């Protein structure tokens, strides 16, 4: 049976503890915070990839989306700032994306990224809110390379590394 | 408006000394002075965090507390969009380059956009390994 994407809810609670990933922070977020952030705190919404294995559901991966306000840490004058839209710049944050270590390398990460981008573009095109950036933080070089293939640019040299995609052209900004 | 200015160490020492005397503390009670000043400042910050205006009143005479630190708290509270990401100057420069270079549609992004538009898009079929790679 094919993988299906669902918004994380209480019905998935029993599946969370089985999730495995080499980054402990990604496991911890899913098991401890994702549900609370989605249902109570309304900080981020998490979507899970559910796979049926011998009739039993398994959580194969997930991603979390949130809004983000990109601002400057300092007020120092910088050349070229007049080319930027005014700060803060609104965006959608791909706060987490992880695939269970037992099913990595089979295209699920790419599929989840497409889902996240698709939901973001859907929101941007529907028009209730306006935003310019798709933002994420790559935990390591492997993740940064993955996002770079999709056109995200690194803003820093150290990890976690902030990365952005300008959605303006895709959303038809004039 | 209350007087706030950039304080040199000497001026700061004098201000603290004046405060110590006005709070009725002895010359050896500097730790006590800091505790009391911290308690007063914490109360002001708490009011500002709760969105309250801090002001002194006597009859019709009203003096509002204005200070850059209070403005920072207010600005953070009134920020309209979700979590705030603060970029360093280097990151801002790179962002300017990214937004300035025009649209670069990488092959993977082109494929992702095409997949999203396709009705034939399907998730991958997964094979579960017994142990993590």
Q: Using 50, 70 and 90 to split pLDDT, how confident is the model at B81?
A: very low
Contact A156 B90 (CB under 8 A): yes
- Angular region, A19: left φ>0, alpha ψ -120 to 50, beta rest: beta
For the CA atoms of chain A, what is the radius of gyration? 17
Contact A156 B91 (CB under 8 A): yes
User: How many beta carbons lie within 10 A of that of residue A93, not counting itself?
Assistant: 22
Q: Does residue B117 lie within any of the structural domains?
A: no
What pLDDT score was predicted for residue B104? 77
Question: Please, which residues bridge with residue A56 across strands?
Answer: A53
ipTM confidence score: 0.87
Joined together, the tokens standing for residue A91 give: 């965006």
Contact A102 B106 (CB under 8 A): no
Say if pTM beats, i.e. exceeds, 0.90: no
Contact B112 A170 (CB under 8 A): no
Residue B2 has pLDDT above 70, yes or no: no
Q: Chains A, B: CB contacts under 8 A, how many?
A: 154
Q: What is the mean pLDDT of residues A81-104?
A: 88
Task: Give the contacts of A66 (CB within 8 A, at least 6 positions apart).
Answer: A43, A44, A45, A92, A93, A95, B82, B83
- Average pLDDT of chain B? 84
Crossing angle of the two packed helices B107-117 and A108-126, in degrees rounded to 10: 70
pLDDT in tens, A149-173: 999 999 999 899 999 999 988 988 6
Q: Where along chain A do its domains lie?
A: 4-73+81-166
pLDDT-above-90 percentage for chain A:
74
Q: Does residue B99 lie within any of the structural domains?
A: no
| Contacting residues of A for B127, CB less than 8 Å apart | 103, 106
Q: Does residue B62 lie within any of the structural domains?
A: yes
Instruction: Name the minimum distance, in Å, from the CA of A10 to any CA of chain B.
Output: 23
What pLDDT score was predicted for residue B103? 77
- Of all residues in chain A, the one with the smallest CA distance to B132 is A102
Name the residue among A3, A67, A83 with its Cβ closest to that of B126: A3
Q: Does residue B68 lie within any of the structural domains?
A: yes
Residue A64 has pLDDT above 50, yes or no: yes
What is the distance between the terminal CA atoms of chain B, rounded to a whole angstrom? 66
- Of all residues in chain A, the one with the smallest CA distance to B91 is A155
In chain B, the number of structural domains is 1
Residue B52 has pLDDT above 50, yes or no: yes
Q: Using 50, 70 and 90 to split pLDDT, how confident is the model at B97?
A: confident
Contact A78 B99 (CB under 8 A): no
What pLDDT score was predicted for residue B132? 66
Q: What is the mean pLDDT of residues B9-20?
A: 86
In CATH, the number for domain A4-73+81-166 is 3.40.630.30
Q: Using 50, 70 and 90 to split pLDDT, how confident is the model at B82?
A: low
Q: Does residue B24 lie within any of the structural domains?
A: yes
| Contacting residues of B for A67, CB less than 8 Å apart | 81-83
């Amino acid at each position: 049976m094919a993988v299906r994407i669902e918004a994380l809810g209480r019905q998935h609670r029993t599946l969370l503890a089985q999730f495995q990933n080499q980054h402990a922070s990604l496991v911890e977020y899913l098991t401890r915070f994702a549900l609370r952030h989605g249902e109570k705190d309304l900080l981020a919404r998490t979507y899970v990839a559910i796979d049926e294995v011998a009739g039993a559901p398994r959580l194969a991966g997930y991603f979390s989306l949130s809004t983000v306000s990109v601002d400057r840490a300092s007020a120092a004058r910088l050349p070229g700032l007049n080319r930027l839209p005014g700060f803060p710049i609104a965006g959608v944050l791909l706060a987490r994306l992880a695939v269970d270590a037992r099913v990595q390398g089979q295209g699920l990460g790419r599929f989840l990224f497409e889902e996240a981008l698709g939901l973001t573009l859907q929101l941007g095109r529907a028009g209730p809110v306006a935003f310019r950036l798709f933002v994420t933080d790559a935990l390591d070089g492997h993740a940064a390379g993955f996002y770079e293939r999709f056109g995200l640019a690194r803003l820093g040299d150290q990890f976690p590394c902030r990365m952005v995609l300008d959605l303006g052209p895709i959303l038809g900004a004039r | 408006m209350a007087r706030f200015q950039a304080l040199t160490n000497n001026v700061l020492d004098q201000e603290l000394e004046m405060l110590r005397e006005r709070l009725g503390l002895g010359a050896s009670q500097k730790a006590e002075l800091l505790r009391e000043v911290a308690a007063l400042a914490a109360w002001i910050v708490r009011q500002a965090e709760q969105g309250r205006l801090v002001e002194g009143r006597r009859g019709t005479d009203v003096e509002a507390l204005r200070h850059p630190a209070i403005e920072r708290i207010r600005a953070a509270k009134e920020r309209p969009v979700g979590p705030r990401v603060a970029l360093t100057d280097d990151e801002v420069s790179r962002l300017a380059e990214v937004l300035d270079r025009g649209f670069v549609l990488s092959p993977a992004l082109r494929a992702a956009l095409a997949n999203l538009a396709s009705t034939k898009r399907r998730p991958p079929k997964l094979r579960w390994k017994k142990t993590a790679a």
